[in-house]
Chain A
Amino acid sequence: MICCRRWPPRLAAGWLAALLLAAAPAALHAQRVEEYRLKAAVIYNLAKFVDWPDEAFSDPAAPLVVCVLGNDPFGAALDETLKGHMIGRHAAVARRIGDVSPGCHVLFVATSEAKRLPAIVERLHDASVLTVGEMAAFTDQGGMIGLTTESEHVRFEVNLPAAERAHLKISARVMALAASVRRTSEREHKP
C-alpha cells in the first residue's frame, strides 16, 4: 500500500504453494528461483545498512554497483530487485564480471569461484567492496557476508573485521539480525 510492490511476501507464499503443487523437477526449479529472489532481496536490503566511504564513489550521484563474479545463480531476479531502486543516494545497478575488477561496491562471489576465493580476497585487500557469498565457510575465508538458507529462510553471517578492513560500516541493527557475527580476524582464529 505504500509505494510499489517489489518484495511482496504474499507472492512468495504463492510461489511456495505453486512449487508444492507442481511436479518435482518443475518444483525444484521454482524453489531455486524463489531462493535467489530472496537472496537478491537480502543483498539489496543489506546494502542499505552498509555505509561505504565517500571515496568508493567517483561522485555523489554515482550508482552503487552490485557485481556477480562467476556463474550467475540469480537469473533475472537480481536485476528485477535492483532495477529502479536507490540505495542511499545511489541508484542500484547489477553487473556480471569474470574477474575482480574495480568499480564494484558489492561483489557476489558465486559458488563456482569457491577455489579462487582466497585469491579474490587477497586481490581486494582493503578495497571498499562488500563481499557476499553463499558457499560454505565464506566468512571463514575472508568473505564479509555469508548467506545461508535455513528451512526456506535466508539468513546471513557477518565477518566484522573483514568489513572494517575494507572501511565499511555495517549497521548494528543488521548485525542483531545476523545468524552469527565474527568479531575477530580469521588469522587469530587460525590455530
Chain B
Amino acid sequence: MKQWLANAPMRRKLTALMAATAAVALVLAGLALGGYEVMTFRRTLAQKLTTVAEIVGRNCTAALAFGDRSAARDVLNALQAEPAVRSGAVYDRDGHLFASFAVSAGAARPSGALADGVGTRFERTTVIAVRPIVLDGERIGTVLIAAALDELWTRVFVFASVMLGIVVVCSLLAIALSAGLQRSITGPILDLASTARRIASDGDFARRAARAGHDEVGTLVDDFNHMLGEIQQQDRQLRVHQEQLESEVTSRTSQLVAANDRLTVSVRRAEFYAEQIGQLTAVGQLLQSCQTAAEVYGVVKHAMGKLFPSDSGALSVLNSSGNMLEAMTAWGDLSPARRVFAPEDCWAFRLGRPHVVSEPGSPLRCAHAAGLEAATTVCVPLTAQGESLGVLHFSFAATDADKGQAAGTADSTRGKMATAMAEQIALALANIRLREALRNQSILDQLTGLFNRRYLEGTLERECRRATRAGRPLSILMLDVDHFKRFNDMWGHDCGDTVLRDLATLMRTHFRGEDIACRYGGEEFVLLLPDSPAEGAMKRAEEFRIAVHNLAVQHRKQTVGSISVSIGVASLPQHGTSPAALLESADRALYQAKHLGRDRSICAEVVPRLTESLS
C-alpha cells in the first residue's frame, strides 16, 4: 500500500484518495445514522411495549383484583393485534402466574424471575417490558410482555443494504467527480513534470514551463523557470569554458607531442651515445690491455670496422727516428695511396689538433689522404703526455646521422668518436712505449722474479757502505748451477728456465726477508746477506746446497735429474771492502768450488788489507 502510494501516478492517487475519503465519510455517516436509527427504534419499541404493558396491566386490574383469570386472559389475547408481541403474562402479587398468552406454543413465555424488575429489557431476539399492576396505590401484580426484535434486525439489514448501495454509488460518483476535478491540480504539475522530462532528455535549457495560475504550483513553475534561467546561463558559461579548455588542451597536447618528439630524439641519441660510449669503453679496455704496438694495430682495425662501419681510414705512426709517418693499419673500402709520408704532409700533425676538410677538392686536404677521399676527411693527431705519436685519419661517407649538423666536423658525433679513439690509441701506444722503457730500466729479472744484476750492483754498493760505516758484517754468496748446459741440451731451453725458476722460488723461501737474492746472469745467482759474518754465511750456504738436493723440478710432467749448485762465499771486510772486491773474492771461491768437483761451498781467502788498499 505504502509502495503503491509512493509509485502510483498523481492522478490515480488523488482520485483514489478522494474516493476513499468520500467512502470513509459515507460509511461513518451511515454507521452514525444507522446507530441512531437503531437506538431510536429501540427506544420507540420500548416505549410502545411499555404502553401496551401499561394498558394490559390496567385492563387486568379488576380481573386480578377479583381473581378472574378468564377475564385477564381475554385482555392478554387482545395482544394478538400487535404482530411484534410474542407473549404476555400477568403475575399476582405473590409472583404466581395468573394468566398468560403466547403467539405459538413454541414462543418463549417470560419467566417469573423477570417479574421482579420493572422497565424494559433487551435480549438478543426479544425485548421484554415489565410493568406493575397497581390498584388504589397498591401493587397487586405484574404484567410482562415480550416482543420479537425481528423488525429491528430487518430494519438494520435493510438500512445496511441501502447504505451499502449509497456508499458504492457515492464512491463511484466521487471517483468520476474527482477524476474530473483533480485535473485542475495535477494538470499544471504534470505539465511541469513533462517540461522537466523534455529538458532532461534534450538538454534544451531555453524551454520554459507554462504557468496556469498564481497558486503554489504557479510559484513552483516560476521558481522552476528562474532556476532554468540560471542553469541556462551556467550552461552557456560552462560551454565557453569547455571550449577554452579544449583549445588549451589541444595546444598543450601539441606542445606535449613536440616535447615528446624532442625527448624521443634525445633519448634515441642518448641511447646511441650510450652505446658508442660503451663500445668506446670496451675498445679502450682492449687497447689498454694490449702488450705490444702490433696488438694495438689489430684492435684498432677491428674496432674501427665496428664503430665506423661505413667509413674508411688509416692509422699512421711516427717512426722511432721521428722523421717519417708510416701507416700501420687501415680499414674500410678505401686504402691510402701512400703508406709512408713526412710529418709535414699532414696538417693535423703540424697543427697538433684535428683537421677537418669537408669540401671536395679542397687544397687544404692533407697530401697523405690521397686515395682516401670521401665526403669529409678528418685527421686527428695522436698525442700523449705532450708527445706526438702519429695521425689517425678518417674518410667519412655522408650518412643520415650527420644530417642537420656540420657534417664531419670535429664536434659531430663521428668527429667526437674519432677524437676519443685517437686519445685512446695514443694512450695505448704511449703506455706500450712506457712499458718497454720501464722494462729496460727494471730492477727485476723477468724470468725468475729475483732482482737483476743492475739492482744488485746498486744495492751492494749501498750495503757495503752502510756495513763499513756501522762496522757490521756483510756476506755474499755467489751460486752457480752445476752442469746447467746439460739441462738445456737434454730437455730444451724451457727446461733450463724451469730449473732457474724453481731454484729462485727455493731461494725466496729459504732465505730471510732482509736477504737479497739476485740473478747475476745466466745460471749465476748472488745472495746478499746483511749482518751475516763469514761463518754464518758458510753455514747457510751449506744448508741451501743440501736443500737443493731435494729439489725435484717437474718439466713436461717428468722429473728432471738431480740438481746441484756450487757456492762461493765472501764476507766484508776480510774478503774485500768494495763491492767489486767482494764479488771478485766470491767469484774466485766459486771457481775454486767448481774446480774442486762442484756441489760444494768454498769461502774466499782472506785478502790482506794492505793489498786491497793498494789495488
A interface residues with partner B (beta carbon < 8 Å): 1-3, 8-9, 42, 45, 48-49, 86-88, 171, 173-174, 176-177
Taken together as a complex, chains A and B put the C-alpha atoms of A137 and B366 apart, in Å, by 202
Residue of A nearest to B94 (CB): A1
Q: Give chain A residues whose Cβ lies under 8 Å from the Cβ of B137.
A: 86
Q: Are B136 and A87 in contact (CB under 8 A)?
A: yes
Of B59, B67, B68, B93, chain A has the most CB atoms within 10 Å of the CB of B67
B55 CB to nearest chain A CB (Å): 12
- Report the separation of the CA atoms of residues A186 and B62 in the bound assembly, to the nearest whole angstrom: 27
- Please name all residues of chain B whose beta carbon is closer than 8 Å to the beta carbon of A174 when the two chains form the complex: 62, 66
Contact between chains at A45 and B93 (CB < 8 Å):
no
Q: How many residues of B contact A (CB 8 A)?
A: 19
With an 8 A cutoff between CB atoms, is B61 at the interface? yes
16 intermolecular pairs with C-beta atoms under 8 Å apart: A2-B93, A2-B94, A2-B139, A3-B93, A45-B66, A49-B62, A86-B137, A171-B62, A173-B58, A173-B59, A173-B61, A173-B62, A174-B62, A176-B63, A176-B71, A177-B62
Select A3's contact among B58, B67, B138, beta carbons within 8 Å: B138
Q: Which residue of B lies closest to A173 (CB)?
A: B62
In the complex, the answer to whether B66 meets A48 with C-beta atoms within 8 Å is: no
CA distance A42 to B65 in the complex (A): 9
By a CB distance below 8 angstroms, the chain A residues around B135 are 48
Chain A residues with Cβ below 8 Å from B139 are 2-3
Q: Which residues of A contact B352 (CB under 8 A)?
A: none
Q: B71: which of A3, A9, A87, A177 is its contact (CB, 8 Å)? A: A177
In the bound complex, how far is the Cα of B94 from the Cα of A8, in angstroms?
9
Q: Nearest Cβ in chain B — how far from A145, in angstroms?
A: 12
Can you add 12 more A-B contacts, CB < 8 Å, to A2-B139, A174-B62? A1-B95, A2-B94, A2-B140, A3-B138, A45-B66, A48-B135, A48-B136, A86-B137, A88-B136, A173-B63, A174-B66, A177-B66
Shortest distance between the CB of A177 and any CB in chain B (Å): 5
Across the interface, name the chain B residue whose C-beta is closest to A171: B62
Q: Which of B19-68 contact A (CB under 8 A)?
A: 58-59, 61-63, 65-68
Q: Which residue of A lies closest to B63 (CB)?
A: A177
Contact call B136/A42, Cβ cutoff below 8 A: no
Q: Is the CB of B93 within 8 A of A177?
A: no
Contacts of B66 in A (CB 8 A): 42, 45, 174, 177
Task: Determine which residue in A48, A88, A171 has the highest number of CB atoms from chain B within 10 A of its CB, and name it.
Answer: A48
| A45 and B140 alpha carbons, distance in the complex (Å) | 12
Interface centre among B58, B63, B66, B135 (most CB of A within 10 A): B66
Residues of chain B within 8 A (CB-CB) of A42 are 66
Leading 7 A-B pairs by shortest Cβ distance:
A173-B62, A2-B93, A45-B65, A2-B139, A177-B68, A48-B136, A1-B94
Give CA–CA (A80, B67) in the complex, Å. 19
How far, in angstroms, from A136 to B346 measured CA to CA in the complex? 204
Q: How many angstroms from the CA of A177 to the CA of B67 in the assembled complex? A: 10
Chain A neighbourhood of B136, CB < 8 A: 48, 86-88
Q: By the criterion CB–CB under 8 Å, are B67 and A9 in contact?
A: yes
Is the beta-carbon distance between B59 and A1 smaller than 8 angstroms? no
- Whether the Cβ atoms of A1 and B62 lie closer than 8 Å is no
What's the nearest-Cβ distance from chain B to residue A172, in Å?
9
**In the complex, what distance in Å separates the CA atom of A1 from the CA atom of B91?**
12
When C-beta atoms are compared, the residue in chain A nearest to B59 turns out to be: A173
Q: What CA separation (Å) do A86 and B135 show in the bound complex?
A: 11
Q: Could you tell me the distance in whole angstroms from the C-beta of B60 to the nearest C-beta in chain A?
A: 9
